[in-house]
A and B are shown apart, each in its own frame.
Chain A
Amino acid sequence: MTLVLELDGVQQVYGTGEAAVHALRGIDLAVEAGDYVAIMGPSGSGKSTLMNLLGCLDIASHGTYSLAGHDVSALTENELATVRNREIGFIFQSFNLIARMSALANVELPLVYGGVGRGERRKRALEALDSVGLAARAGHEPQELSGGQQQRVAIARALVTNPTLVLADEPTGNLDNESTDDILGLFDVLAAQGKTIVIITHEDHVAERARRVITISDGLIVDDRVNARAVHA
């Protein structure tokens, strides 16, 4: 199978000398296309740092990172922006929709930066909103939507570019139980469609839905197991 992610000896060090903080101390990780991976760990374990690296928001101090077969460890800021635009769909804990812009405009935004023409953009954004069941709310602004609805708009935005990797950072952290089930159900559907999903969480019931659960602690992978229940689900 094709590898979507491949991390080799990745270290992340902040600061220098005595004050240096080793957030990641050597991560080796390979994720295959179509896999559904949960990365777990307590606060301070380095999972946010890992998420920033996986999302090409930051580059590692040491080691290499290949995304969809391309080494992205030494790209410039603008090249990383292009990689984020084309290869990665972000889903954040706090939804991160832009205020005073309609749901449709929010979903269109990655396509705007990708240079997609106006008509094509509108069509694809509406399809993405439809796929999360929010086509009827296309004209609403974020503050007019519930938390669960906002997160579904954010998922539509993450999917609209048809990215190599869907990267979710505590996607249910700000949601009530009902909305959490709703969103996790949506992830199950995406996984079944063959999307590669990496979800970062500290909640067991979220990790339970993934096929593979990786636990990191103190900057190292301490556990990497196949979740039998999810695989058979």
Chain B
Amino acid sequence: MSVFEILVSAFRGVTANKLRSILTLLGVMIGVASVILPLAVGNGSAQEVKNAISGLGASTITVRAGGMGGGGGGESTAASTNKVITREVADQLAAADLGHVASVTPQVSTSLTVSSTDVSSDSVSIIGTTTGYFDVGTTGVGTGEAFTDAEVASSAKVAVIGQTLATTLFPGASALGEAIAIDGTPFTVVGVLENQSSTGITDANSVVIAPITRIQKSFTGFGAVSNLSVEAIDSDSVDAAEGEIEIMLNQLLGQTDDDESYSISNQSSLLETQEESADSFTVLLGVVAAISLLVGGIGVTNVMLVSVTERTKEIGIRKALGATRGAILGQFLAEAATLTLLGGVLGVAAALVGANYEIYGTKPVVLDYSIPLALGVSVAIGVFFGVYPAARAAAMRPIQALRAV
């Protein structure tokens, strides 16, 4: 009997009791779909992370004052004054001419009320920095211009503001050249930022960027800066640059690796962490899916046992006509495998349909290898869970089987 004939006869066996077969292959179908789809979601999110890494500027390193987890706030948590990263430390770091470092941009940040003549906005993020800020990452000025080195040097009261803030303060009008007051101190708006993608809960478009000298003089004082944005010469040099910065900073601050008063990180390492957590989520879903496949497989065993019992007479007839054990075993294994393969095909189809929709904000991307893998696994499940019923059929004694009604 050729493979084709075996499959045709197995298919006939499967379709003999359609409802039962459909219910059984539904289990396999759900199992297969719930393996492929999470893999596709995980893959899709990994690709999004990859895109995000290239978008965020993979060569940027952030040094935050304070230990791990401390960041963003204006006040330094450093233990003693000689361990604080100040503007001077940043300048020394920039002047150190480290091999893999392209630029060092200090930032101070705080949160204050900003108002125009008519409108005021509370708790706006205020960043004081140097001109290098606009070269690092993806922060660009949309309309108007960034402040200049001369303006930084002279502590000029100029500011570049985010788009949301611009429309809040100056609804329906251009903010360029207008006066704003930051906590009562007047500034002139010289530029409006390009639209920024928000990554956290804060609105990246509700921000004021002004010369660091002016922010320090008016608001934060000349102590510690909040963080340093360090640009590596290229994205491959990030790790080397990070090492150089760490050694140099420890030297400048007179501290060792063990008592660092700052934390250092880069965008790609942050995103890698995110990717890892996405991966472990995928693995978890995969385990759940594997369990549902197991349940589907047990369903196959069950329905094949029923089928073997129902067809005892047929098995007896086939044996009387000369079917060997192997022939009967093969017949029922082929039926079980056909059943699960059909389930697998439907499961793949369901997963492909499901992959067209966004799931938890992620567009799934079906992995190429997952489809042949899923079909192979379905056949394997059929064979594995079909072995016991098929072996029972094959072991039947012809006279007893023939006696069945």
A-side residues, CB < 8 A to B, are: 52, 55, 57-58, 77-78, 81-82, 84-86, 90, 92, 96-101, 109-110, 112-114, 118, 157
Contacts and interface: CB of A to CB of B under 8 A. Distances in A.
Contacts of A114: 322
A84 B324 contact: no
A118 B399 contact: no
B320 A113 contact: no
Contact of A81 (B1, B317, B323): B323
Nearest to A158: B321
Contacts of B322: 81-82, 84-86, 110, 113-114
Interface string B225-260: 000000000000000000000000000000000000
B319 to A, nearest CB: 7
Given A96-B313, A96-B402, A81 B319 contact: yes
Contact of B2 (A84, A90, A99, A118): A118
7 contacts: A81-B322, A81-B324, A82-B322, A84-B322, A85-B321, A98-B314, A101-B12
A90 B324 CA distance: 16
Interface string B299-318: 00000000000000110011
Nearest to B319: A81
Contacts, number: 58
B321 to A, nearest CB: 5
A85 B325 CA distance: 13
B320 A112 contact: no
Contacts of B320: 55, 57, 84, 90, 96
Nearest to B314: A98
Contacts of A97: 317
Nearest to B394: A77
A58 B325 CA distance: 15
A154 to B, nearest CB: 10
Contact of A57 (B16, B313, B318, B402): B402
B12 A113 contact: no
A110 B321 contact: yes
B327 interface: yes
A57 B323 contact: no
B402 to A, nearest CB: 7
